[in-house]
Structure 1
């Protein structure tokens, strides 16, 4: 490699919520975006006479730089995207030297360091961009999650996937803090997006840090992401579709519930969907229904006898045998 360069640039997106700080050549550019935005990660080749087409490669670099995730590869007219970036990452291509990419519908999982590598036949350029993703507390809901095989069974990677599977992302510290201020009280520790493990307590009691302790977030600090296992706090955003109870003449097994939603042109709802509908849309129904993870829950925004007499909540029933025909189903349609 003949040279290592960083380009000093100020970049503003049309959305106005994403910006890039002016940096020195030795410092990665920092780009900030709000959850769900489209964001541009800037990168340019040196202004020079090019010999042949640019070869552009973008990767996402993990904390261990020996482990990377391919994002995009461009060679002439051929452009390929990979993994979770497929069909939502594009070259900006404003001119012949522009190697910037646009990421659609940014999620918390997109946060991290990205590396742009440009090879033009004369010199190779390597350029780092750090993407930070933010989200206001009013735009979503935080909920605790543990899978069907029980509590404290998720390492960090499992926790990230568990939230994704439920139509959500791992919550940040700020999101959990805002949820605690809004009354979230949960006595099981869960992963947050920064790799710490915490839980929110509004009503101090013996099993949850002691009855004489003060309300707040209890923290276990940073934990080993591979070996340590906890629950997770997920964050679901405002729904882009419709969450609803599917009216059926009979109760359904899990497989029948999945098929019933499909027959209605929808999918079986995820846990993130029911929490977002309950918290952000005031959805209320006193009928227990299947969800995609095999759990049975129901959302109550108006507490009342025989449903949730003391508080507004998403009530968890159980992870029942999937062959039982005791429940209806909640569906979600984009």
Structure 2
């Protein structure tokens, strides 16, 4: 039995339990995502005891998730309208973004969370919030603060997303991106910069990439599953190599991006002839779609198990194709998204991968026409590379 000793915080004491005692994870329907069930411990000191989810809660883009935070307050006759509940997101060291605050019946939701966050209200002492229509940017660490008069304490919940990490470099070549540019190119490809935890998980699943890339915390790392001399020496152990935190403006690397579940479908457009880039854009639009982004193709490969042994244009002007079931004629023995480089936009011809959203706008047109990627139409490279994530 666990004995909880009172803390010297006056009339209100908040105790955050950062371990997995009494916590279980129960499956729910797809709309609710996955959540943690937390059991609240009570003591006899008249204290407030707060418990948040140990570990993390997991969902996917477009889903809903409960961030658990419960408290028990004695004496029971205390006015609940004097309890303030505040949720913030930890965006950086000592930097917080307001998400939600409630004082009695008064509630306020902030920024991009407006219309998506509400109290769960599952009985007395429930400070949990539900976030609907999860976005990639919702990934991260959240703080739950419960306050009574002048006393407060906090607990933390980590929100994780199911998805896929992929390396990215633009048409201009390798090691051309500072930190802000790396953030931008990931967003342009329907993704965000990956976290260290996401990259480490991808490495455990088999991701092997010999070029260093930015992560969301400003560090530069790369995953090696098969050590070799050209990737930091053959006699060094496998793992995620870390260059540490680099100068965000002056230094240039590639990017590691992360994306999650698609609100739509990626498909290879069946045509009688291959096309150049401009013709590919028009073909997708005529089919009620747009040319797929790199992140969308990776999500379709990883989550929707898209397997197609035909090279096709993507929105950034690259040529790629997804392989779930490896075969000799489709680029080697490992699953992954094959990358054939950035060919000439006008004179090289291929198939095309299109993306059709599940939601159309009021005019019935899906998305926006894809702009021409870059100004340089010269071939930069056509070497075949494979991003392997098992």
Structure 1-normalised TM-score? Answer: 0.70
1:40-55 correspondence runs (5 A): 40-42=67-69, 48-49=78-79
Change in CA separation of 1:157 and 1:41 when aligned onto 2, cut-off 3 Å: farther
**Which of 244, 265, 275 is 1:222 aligned to?**
244
Max Rg structure: 2
Contact 1:157–1:225, Cα closer than 8 Å, also in 2 = no
In 2, Cα distance between the equivalents of 1:323 and 1:79? 52
**Which of 3, 15, 18 is 2:36 aligned to?**
18
Contact 2:320–2:340, Cα closer than 8 Å, also in 1 = yes
Asked if 1:283 is matched to 2:307, the reply is yes
Q: Residues 124-155 of structure 1, C-alpha deviation per residue, up to 9 Å, x if partnerless?
A: 564433222456xxx64432122344433445
Give the aligned partner of residue 91 of structure 2.
62
Contact 1:148–1:319, Cα closer than 8 Å, also in 2 = yes
**Which of 228, 231, 237 is 1:208 aligned to?**
231
1:172-321 correspondence runs (5 A): 173=196, 176-177=199-200, 179-180=202-203, 183-192=206-215, 196-210=219-233, 212-214=234-236, 216-224=238-246, 226-227=248-249, 229-237=252-260, 239=262, 241-248=264-271, 257=280, 260-279=283-302, 281-291=305-315, 293-300=316-323, 301-305=325-329, 308=331, 312-319=335-342
In 2, Cα distance between the equivalents of 1:321 and 1:41? 52
Task: Kindly tell me the number of residue pairs found equivalent between the two proteins.
Answer: 321
Gaps of 5+ in 1: none
**Which of 6, 27, 31 is 2:14 aligned to?**
6
In 2, Cα distance between the equivalents of 1:298 and 1:215? 31
Structure 2-normalised TM-score? Answer: 0.62
Change in CA separation of 1:265 and 1:79 when aligned onto 2, cut-off 3 Å: farther
Alpha-carbon distance, 1:216 to partner: 0.9
Report which stretch shifted further, 229-238 or 317-326. 317-326
**Which of 49, 72, 75 is 2:100 aligned to?**
72
Q: Residues 144-194 of structure 1, C-alpha deviation per residue, up to 9 Å, x if partnerless?
A: 122344433445565456445434454455654554455533210124466
Task: Give the secondary-structure state (helix, strand or coil) at the position aligned to 1:247.
Answer: coil
In 1, Cα distance between the equivalents of 2:176 and 2:282? 29
Change in CA separation of 1:180 and 1:152 when aligned onto 2, cut-off 3 Å: same
Change in CA separation of 1:229 and 1:194 when aligned onto 2, cut-off 3 Å: same
In 2, Cα distance between the equivalents of 1:235 and 1:146? 14
Contact 2:15–2:49, Cα closer than 8 Å, also in 1 = no
Contact 1:5–1:25, Cα closer than 8 Å, also in 2 = yes
